[in-house]
Amino acid sequence: MTDSERPAAASGTFLIGGDLPVTRLGFGAMRITGRGVWGDPPDRGAAIAVLRRAVELGVDFIDTADAYGPFVSEDLIAQALYPYAGVSVATKGGFVRPGPGKWEAVGRPGYLRQCVEMSLRRLRVDTIDLYQLHRIDPLEPVADQLGALDEMRREGKIARIGLSEVSVAEIGEARLTAPIVSVQNQYNLVNRKAEDVLEYCEREGLAFIPWNPIAIGQLADASGPLAAMARQTGHVPSQLALAWLLRRSPVMLPIPGTGSVAHLEENVGAAQVELTDDQFDQMTTLT
């Protein structure tokens, strides 16, 4: 597929940190692993095909984490996309995985440095475009955790630092130690508990990366809350859910994930959905 044949992956772009341009609809690479986000996917070839198809469709922002697999998602991304021509890869660290479905935050500075070094190796890069603290460890001083990441930023191993699942107060505290360019919190049409964080990001010019943008498939269900509107507009429900996010805020960078090429193509198609004012308002008052 040539550049002239490649469709736009999102309505407009956003400059993460003021200097990293990405299209506003990215790809979340959690679901290319095995059940419970553990181990290899059932078909590694299919996972690689999804990643490559995403880039063919114009997606240029891939979000992953060392905990996905663990390590499987980063390995697959490198196998599928290295040397990442025109594609930015964001990853995360700060979790350990005792087993399938289990996650424990560890923010010891030495451990975070090890996480960064190993992600650099798996992704085959010298600098990580965006490195996000997967969770703040409540047992470690925030300044120590962000200080370790900022040291690696000044060493050139991290280009930009982000946070995940944080409050407004926690963002403010983190920014006393390191420059923060993005926040990744759970947010979707039926779960807007992070509304105050989104508004803070808008005021401060930070990227807001909503994980679980389709509410674990609830908003994609053919009998779900968007089904009737989808029949009226001729779209699939997941496209409406993503289109609502893209319109909700100019700092919003949704990262829907899937292990299916067909679902990927549906999701990317959300960038072409233009909601009317009435449709947007109707969806906003849905819950």
Residue (of 115, 66, 57, 64) closest to 86 by Cα position:
57
Mean pLDDT of the chain: 94
Q: Where are the beta strands (DSSP E) in 229-285?
A: none
Residues in the chain: 287
Give the CATH number, domain containing residue 95: 3.20.20.100
Q: What's the pLDDT at 162?
A: 99
Instruction: Check pLDDT > 90 for residue 1.
Output: no
Q: What are 283's two structure tokens?
A: 């969806």
Q: What are phi and psi of 211, to 5 degrees?
A: -90, 160
pTM of the predicted protein model: 0.94
Residue linked to tokens 């370790």: 148
pLDDT at 7: 38
pLDDT for res 11: 59
Residue 8 predicted with pLDDT over 70:
no
Among residues 82, 280, 273, 63, the alpha carbon closest in space to that of 182 is found at: 63
In this prediction, residue 218 carries a pLDDT of 83
Mean pLDDT of 202-213: 98
Active site residues: 68
Q: pLDDT value at position 286? A: 82
Give the Å distances, CA to CA, from 225 to 46, 244, 254: 30, 13, 19
How far apart CA 263 and CA 265 sit, in angstroms, is 5
In terms of residue numbers, what domain contains 134? Answer: 3-282
Specify if 19 maps to a domain: yes
Virtual torsion, Cα 211, 214, 218, 221, nearest 10 deg? -160
pLDDT tens, 118-144? 999 999 999 999 999 999 999 999 999
Number of domains in the chain: 1
Angle at 135 between CA 221 and CA 206, to 5 degrees: 75
pLDDT in tens, 208-237: 999 999 988 788 888 889 999 999 999 999
Nearest-angstrom CA–CA distance, 13 and 27: 14
Asked if pLDDT for residue 44 goes beyond 70, the answer is: yes
The separation between CA 96 and the C-alpha centre of its own chain, rounded to angstroms, equals 19
Residue 257 pLDDT greater than 50, yes or no: yes
* C-alpha span between 195 and 190 (Å, rounded): 12
Within-domain flag for 133 = yes
Amino acid in the structure at residue 58:
G
184-188 average pLDDT score: 98
Res. 9: pLDDT tops 90: no
pLDDT confidence tier of residue 287, bands split at 50, 70 and 90: low
Whether 287 is covered by a domain: the verdict is no
Task: Give dist(CA 79, CA 119) in Å, integer.
Answer: 14
70-84, 206-220, 237-251: least confident range: 206-220
Predicted confidence at residue 245, as pLDDT, reads 97
Q: What is the C-alpha to C-alpha distance for residues 96 and 222, in angstroms, rounded to an integer?
A: 36
Residues of the chain with pLDDT > 70: what percent?
A: 96
